[in-house]
A and B are shown apart, each in its own frame.
Chain A
Amino acid sequence: MFEHKITPYQNLSILILVSFAFQSILMPLLLTEIDGPVGWMTIIIAGLVLYFALKPINKMMLKYKDNSVLSITNNIFPKFLSKLAGIYYIVMFLTANSILMKDFAEQIKLMMLFRTPLGTIIILILLTASYATKKGIKTIANIASIAVLIAFIPYLLIIIFSTYYADYSNVFPIYPFDVTGVFKSVPGSILGFFGFSILLFSNSKVTVQENNRLINRKFIIISSILYIACYLLIIVKFGIKESVHLVWPFISVMKFVNIPGFFFESTEIVGLCFQIVVTFSCICIIAYFTNMAMQETFKTRENGYFIFIQIPVLYIMAVVLPGMYMMFPYIQWPIIVFSSLNLLIPLIAALIDRTKQKMP
């Protein structure tokens, strides 16, 4: 009765949550590709690139209110290209979601359910996520806000408590820093800001779209801070040499949590419970925006039924694809392609729109 759209800060919660999940997954990439503890420089560079890229994109999205990047490309690009862009986003979201789900399911299997088949865990997550996705953007936004309050913040607090016995000298030496490594890992870091791809769709669902500019900037800043803080935490906790061998640095960090009076021995399981809620929210969010990309590419009206197409596709992809940690040696090029396209599609659209506007 009151709201059919999401509020600007619900949008911010969505963007931060999604980015955090991908930053966790891509953290080992940042740790392995740079020689030395200067991954934070990469994050800053990636953050700055996205911050400045947002300016024309914000302008374009404000002009085409209530339109996602795909609706805008439909107006600007030739039909063939706009369809290609739509298919790209569908494939990209599906791939990202399946990798996230696979990694997430593997963590659960490894730490919680040793004897349960991976497929069972994946299908359980998928079915639950599909229930949320079908309910629409408002539900997704509400879930994201609640997840921030009841899971994301406690999860971050648990991580903070893990600084016990940390060696802060691990963040040095900064000089001489690995310039090649820093720049080489920028595409990976850009992909870590996965919320950037989501905002191209979610901004059209916001009630007060004039605030999107500010919210998008806030997202880049907060996400960068979180990314840097998490990176530094892993470094101070394990040191760069040990960190590169960790499969999931965040889970390893939680093994050494020291909360006064906390009597559970395996704190990582408690942390993982919070992470389940956070990651689950991200899966729902990406699944919803995959639906949206499908709707706009195939020009159907808003419905939640595309999730039923997604379920088998996501399941097969998640079962077939190896986990992210196994793919690291082979994903240099895909990462460059994905992060470049994520950045270029909206930028080119903004550029063409501006040129068209200037033409008499």
Chain B
Amino acid sequence: MSIYQDLANIKVDADLKRNETALKEVFRDANDIVFRNMKVGQNKKLKILLFYVDGMITKDSISEYAVQTLMESITLESLGKSNEIELENKVLQTNIAITELGVLQTLQECVDKALSGETILFIDTCTKAIWLSSRGWQLRGIQEPAAETLIRGARDGFIETMKINITLIRRRIRDPKLKVKYMQVGTRSKTDLALMYIEDIVNNTVLEEVEKRIKNIDTEAVLESSYIEELIEDDVYSPFPQVENTERPDAAASALLEGRVVIAVDNTPTVLMAPATFVSFMQSSEDYYERWMLACLIRMIRYIALPIVMLLPAIYVAVTQFHPNMLPTQLALYVAASRANVPFPPYFEALLMELVMELVREASLRITTPVGSTIGLVSGLVIGSASVEAGLITPIAVIIVALTSLASFAIPSYNFSTSLRMIRFAFIIVASFFGLFGISIGLCILIIHLSTLKSFGVPYLTPMTHFVERKSDLKDTIIRPKIKTLVRRPKYLQVKKEK
């Protein structure tokens, strides 16, 4: 059996050399692993071994609060032949000034801790190792998330370090009932993950379900929270996201206060929130920071943008191809005249323009930010006007596609907006076959799909599917009510405390 597989069974040895050899075998060809042998105590009789990953620890704190004190300690002088309990207690309780530390039994635990950025201290004759909190690496500063900028509201955003993200949430909810459960996912990446919830609000069924699904994750590595999102969502074949994500601590705090569960994953600034519903994807943190009337208007605009994103190009295809009689005579004549020299049928024209638009969007995302937006804008303008002049498409098609793209930016959730953009292509295709009837049937299929969709047991279309029983939930959907009237948590979450 290889040493990797057996590591969990290998206990920390009383002989320092053996521990070192075993660990060196585990980390063969890993030059960033540091083993430091020392003799401590005033007479330098007690042998110790420090083991850590270079670059992941703050050396200063270990040198100053652990190594230095151990070196100068008088109490360690006579401990060379002491029993291990006495040794461990002396070192732990009186000679190390680091607040966070613990005892490890096996080499596997030692390896895991070291790879998390802790320093492992082996003491000669002792069959237990001690981990000393020493995590420290270069961090990105707390900045405003680029994808969720607001006019009014906090400017801080999550970063790649989970513990800092937890702190950002804790600063907003200073409640002892806010619980944080640490877990680890990924057999190789061993990514840290924190499950956060407010104990006296959260629905236990939802919490247990989230926990169960995370525990059931069987993957080698989790490099981003999107892995978790995909692995725990209810229907992986649905184009719609079933877990919400954010880079804003205020949005995460608000989700916790609503009774939802927040999942913070290490190495990613994106935090997950579950359960998520159709309505939650249409809400933004800023809705609650603006005056309620303005927020109502903005929300209504979003709900107007929703059918535009999904249906406008399809309606254009249906009307020009199947139902030109729907248009006022003058407009119908103009459309017919402008289409006279266009070689493509309306559906091809719409599909082509939409594909070009997606291409521009994708390209501008890949180019460095300040130039990206300019290139996106310029290429959009140039391609649009050149195509019209070349007689490839009609000016109306350009307007339709531009309006659709603009509307997609009004949807606050990027994930959700992307889903709608994707569905738009399906609607164009059905409209090209069956006109408005095709669109209506497409809508019916979409409603069926969304009606069956659930996010951790919560129906996706709630509260619309229970608009009488949960009319109080409807209050905070298309409009944003006054803060004063927002006293009850959403009923659909079936939280412990509604108020």
Which one, B177-185, B336-344, B362-370, B429-437, is touching chain A?
Answer: B429-437
Residues of chain B within 8 A (CB-CB) of A7 are: 466, 468-469
Q: How far in angstroms is the closest Cβ of chain B from A40?
A: 27
> A18 to B450, alpha carbons, bound, how many Å?
21
Interface string of B438-452 (1 = CB under 8 A from A): 011101110110111
Verify if A168 is at the interface (C-beta below 8 Å from B). no
The yes or no answer to A147 lying at the interface (CB within 8 A) is: yes
Please measure, in the bound complex, the distance between the C-alpha atom of A138 and the C-alpha atom of B329, giving whole angstroms. 45
- A221 smallest CB distance to B (angstroms): 15
B457 is an interface residue with CB less than 8 A from chain A: yes
Q: Which of A116-151 contact B (CB under 8 A)?
A: 116, 121, 124-125, 128, 131-132, 135, 138-139, 141-143, 145-150
Q: Which residues of A contact B437 (CB under 8 A)?
A: 108, 112-113, 121, 276
A117 to B102, CA, bound (A): 77
In the bound complex, residues from chain A placing their C-beta under 8 Å from that of B454 are 1
Interface size on A, residues (CB 8 A): 43
Interface string of B309-349 (1 = CB under 8 A from A): 00000000000001101111101000000000000000000
Query: A298 → chain B, closest Cβ, in Å?
Result: 26
Task: Given A112-B322, A113-B322, A269-B436, decide whether A1 and B205 contact each other with a Cβ distance below 8 A.
Answer: yes
Q: Quick one: closest B residue to A120, CB to CB? A: B434
User: Does B467 touch A at the CB level, under 8 Å?
Assistant: yes
Task: Enumerate chain B residues within 8 angstroms of A263, measured Cβ to Cβ.
Answer: 327-328, 331
CA distance A109 to B326 in the complex (A): 16
In the complex, which residue of chain B has the Cβ closest to the Cβ of A146?
Answer: B447
Cβ of B439: which chain A residues have Cβ within 8 Å of it? 273
Residues of B within 8 A of A146 (CB): 447, 450-451, 461, 464-465
Q: Main secondary structure on chain B at its contact with chain A?
A: helix
User: Does A10 count as interface, using CB distance less than 8 angstroms?
Assistant: yes
Measured CB to CB, the nearest residue on chain A to B474 is A149
Residues of B within 8 A of A131 (CB): 445, 448
Is A1 touching B457 in the complex (CB atoms < 8 A)? yes
Contact status B441-A135, CB under 8 Å: no
Q: Given the known A-B contacts A128-B444, A135-B448, A146-B451, are A116 and B468 also in contact in the complex, defined by CB atoms under 8 Å?
A: no
| Residues in B whose Cβ lies below 8 Å from that of A20 | none
CB of A354, distance to nearest CB on chain B (Å): 32
- Shortest beta-carbon distance from B396 to chain A in Å: 14
Task: Please state if A273 and B441 are interface contacts (CB–CB under 8 Å).
Answer: no
- Cα–Cα, bound, A138→B461 (Å): 12
B220 CB-CB contact with A under 8 Å: no
B441 touching A265 by the CB < 8 A rule? no
Evaluate contact between A9 and B445: CB separation under 8 angstroms. no
Q: Nearest-CB distance from A276 to chain B (Å)?
A: 4
| Contacting pair B448 A113 (CB below 8 A) | no
Pairwise interchain contact B328-A145, C-beta atoms closer than 8 A: no
Query: How far is it, in angstroms, between the C-alpha of A141 and the C-alpha of B448 when the chains are bound?
Result: 10
Instruction: Establish whether residues A113 and B328, one from each chain, have CB atoms under 8 Å apart when the complex forms.
Output: no
Contact of B465 among A145, A276, A280, A281 (CB under 8 A): A145
Of all A-B residue pairs in the complex, the 4 with the closest CB atoms, nearest first, are: A1-B457, A142-B451, A9-B468, A276-B440
B residues whose Cβ falls under 8 Å from a Cβ of A: 205, 209, 322-323, 325-329, 331, 434-437, 439-441, 443-445, 447-448, 450-452, 454, 456-459, 461, 464-469, 494
Known A-B contacts: A9-B469, A264-B328. Give 6 more (CB < 8 A): A112-B322, A128-B448, A146-B461, A264-B326, A266-B323, A277-B444
Report which A residues bind B (CB closer than 8 A): 1-3, 7-10, 12, 108, 112-113, 116, 121, 124-125, 128, 131-132, 135, 138-139, 141-143, 145-150, 263-266, 269-270, 272-273, 276-277, 280-281, 284
Offer 22 A-B interface pairs, CB within 8 angstroms, sorted by A. A1-B205, A1-B209, A2-B205, A2-B458, A3-B459, A7-B466, A10-B465, A112-B322, A112-B437, A138-B452, A139-B452, A142-B459, A143-B448, A145-B466, A146-B451, A146-B461, A147-B447, A150-B447, A269-B436, A277-B440, A280-B440, A280-B441
